[in-house]
Structure 1
Amino acid sequence: MPRAALRMLQAAGVAWTLPNTIAGLVLGIVGLAFGAHLHARRRDLAIVFHRWPWGPGGALTLGNVILHTGDTLDSSCLTYAQRDGEGEEASIVLADHERAHVFQYMVLGPLFLPLYLAAGGISARNRFERAADRYASSGQGWWPW
């Protein structure tokens, strides 16, 4: 695909998921007052708030915003299947997993959250999480269907 066409598709995806991104920015900005810091990750097409002070750990993607409780997305983590004891898999890089969610949001826009929740929420059974794990381990297959 020509670079100009890819950029146009990315811009359309950013615009389509803007309501989700705004929600992520609001939460991230609130986190800044409690010690979070932000930077842009061009490769992930996202603004990342590191050291986001709430949650059980890990990361949450909202549109083109990633709220991350740690210091770097470039750390290894377990897949959802590994966490649920469904077999041995190689660890994945958290940034790759979250990038898949950014792509999913850019295609589904405001439909992402209802579809994600209908697919089972935060669990190994969720097709969105399985696809993100697949993408993180292989670089392909971020689409959940």
Structure 2
Amino acid sequence: MAMAKIASAVLRLLGILWTLPNTLIGLIGGSVGLLFGASAQFSRRDFALVFHRWPWGPGGAITFGNTILHTGDTLDSECLTYEHRAGRCDHPRIKIGDHERAHVYQYMVLGPLFLPLYLVCGGVSVRNPFERAADRYAMTGRGWWP
């Protein structure tokens, strides 16, 4: 049991280091947001530094490595899945934090490869398997990998 915890902690640390270039993008964006009223809070649950009330964008959140830029006050806010918004199905509302946590995990596995792969797979759209996997994880607590 102790070895499993140690192995998990080591893998988590390696993932955090592997995605550090992406995290730096989020830290820069979050730091600029602080100048315009954002606030920062570390979330152990999400393995991320969360910048709440980030003042730009259409609403919602975006993840860069182990940072989340969020336009609202809490990641417990509910939102619709990408497939639901596209009219493909009728999903229950999900928590935005659960969706973004899946992206944190995806970043920790793919590191600097995440952003290019994410864009090649369709960017912010229902076609993107990374977004569908994050929605699935937010609905079920499982399946964050595309």
TM interval, short-chain normalised: over 0.9
- Residue by residue over 1:26-67, the C-alpha shift from the partner in whole angstroms, topping out at 9 and shown as x without a partner, is 100000000000100001000000000010100000000000
Aligned length: 144
Q: What residue is the counterpart of 2:107 in the other structure?
A: 105
The 5 A counterparts of 1:1-145 are: 2-144=4-146
TM-score between the two structures when normalised by the length of structure 2 = 0.97
Extract structure 1 runs of 4+ deviating beyond 6 A. none
Between the aligned partners of 2:88 and 2:76, the Cα distance in structure 1 is 24
SS for the counterpart of 2:62 is: strand
TM-score between the two structures when normalised by the length of structure 1 = 0.98
- Residue by residue over 1:66-99, the C-alpha shift from the partner in whole angstroms, topping out at 9 and shown as x without a partner, is 0000110011110000111111011111110000
SS for the counterpart of 2:45 is: helix
| Structure 2 alignment gaps of length 5 or more | none
In the TM superposition, what is the alpha-carbon distance from 1:115 to its structure 2 partner? 0.2
- Residue by residue over 1:109-133, the C-alpha shift from the partner in whole angstroms, topping out at 9 and shown as x without a partner, is 0000000000000001100000000
| Structure 1 alignment gaps of length 5 or more | none
Between the aligned partners of 1:94 and 1:54, the Cα distance in structure 2 is 17
Cα RMSD of the aligned pairs, angstroms, is 0.7
The percent identity for this pair of structures is: 66
